[in-house]
Structures are given as structure tokens and as C-alpha cells.
Amino acid sequence: MAELKITELDELTTPAAADLLEIVDDVAGTPTSKKVTLENIYKHLAIGSDADGDIYYRASGVLARHPKGTANHKLFMHASNDAPEWAKGMGIISSTRDLTAAAGDVSYSGLGFKPSLVLGFGAVGATIVGCIGVDDGTVRKGMDTRTTAGQWAIQNYLLAFLTSVGVYQAAVVKSFDSDGVTLTWTKVGSPAGTATFTLICFR
């Protein structure tokens, strides 16, 4: 058989798992030429300290290993949008709202991630004033207690604290931020008291 350079061989463009490659075993000890199937190459891929549960992804043009996450965590795209990230993806912020405060934007921080959906509920202590709602930044639906009839009513706010007829403070999501959320509070009339509320945030 005539000697050929590798560059002169026919090209295989659709390699199969059982196809063979030449490999040098035990490079550091007694190097020996052997054959290996393509299947065994990719089955025994190792990048660094590989462990069960790790995943592989492309990083800066090369294959990289992403270590396994905490049990029951979910896989998200990192805020940099170029790498995977394991995370719980849920968090809670509790806060208060002085119902006498002026309307405006208020930021809430401490989540450690940028949410995409918020569920909120709250009440004014020692009163029947309470509400629950959900907001994804575009659609907001909730319900609040209407003091006049002692009934619940559907409204289009994440939070709405109606202290008497036509008198309330209500909030919707203005923006989802890297560490929390900013709400825009609306004030109608002169509500009094302090509302305590909780935001359950989903990444």
C-alpha cells in the first residue's frame, strides 16, 4: 500500500459511533498505539474534575464543563446570557408601605436574581383591608377587599389597599431589576395606616 499523508486520505463527513481512530495509550508511562471507537471517545470525555450531574456547554468557542447544581435547583441562563446557571429561581421580599406616602416608584432589592413574575399579597394590620395579585410586568390581575360591602373585588393591580370607598394606594410592576423589582405606587384620596405585604418572585 502506497504511503499517504493524512491530508491525502478520503474524508469521512458522517462518522459513526463504531468508526475507529488511532490513539496513543499511557502517554506518560509506556506509550502504545491502539484503536478506539468514536463512541468511546465521547463517552469518556473529561474536562477538569468531571462528576455525575455535570453538563457541558460552549464557552469562548471551546467545550466547557458546568458543575452540577444543588438538588432540585433549576437550570437558567446566566444574566450574562452566555452560560448556564443552576438556581432556585424563587425568592420572597416582605415590605411595608406607608399609605400616607406620596405616589411614586419604590425599589425592592435583595432577591439575588432578576424576576419575571411577581405574586403579591398584603394587609393593613387590625383592619379588613387586604389584597392579593399577580404581575408579569404587562398583565396584572388581583383582588382586594372593598370595605363598603365587606366583599372582594377584581382589579388590575398587583397590590391594592383600599381603606375606604375610592381611597387607596395601589401598585404595579414598573420594572424587573437585577436584584429585585420596582413598583409604581398610585395614591387616590388620603389613605391612612401602614400596609405590610409580601412579594413572591419567580425568575
In the complex, which residues of this chain contact another protein (CB under 8 A)?
Answer: 91-98, 101-102, 104-111, 124-128, 147-148, 150, 163-164, 179-180, 192-194, 196
Closest CA to 106 of 95, 120, 115, 118: 95
Cross-strand bridge partners of residue 159: 171
Q: Which is nearer to another protein, 37 or 127 (CB)?
A: 127
C-alpha cell at 193: 395606616
Comparing CB distances to another protein, the nearer of 132 and 195 is 195
CB of 76 to another protein, least distance (A): 18
CB of 96 to another protein, least distance (A): 4
| Cβ-based nearer residue to another protein, 31 or 150 | 150
Distance of closest approach, residue 101 Cβ to another protein, in angstroms:
5
Q: Please choose, from the candidates 99, 90, 105, 61, the residue with its C-alpha nearest in 3D space to the C-alpha of residue 197.
A: 99
| CA proximity to 195, closest of 155, 135, 144, 151 | 144
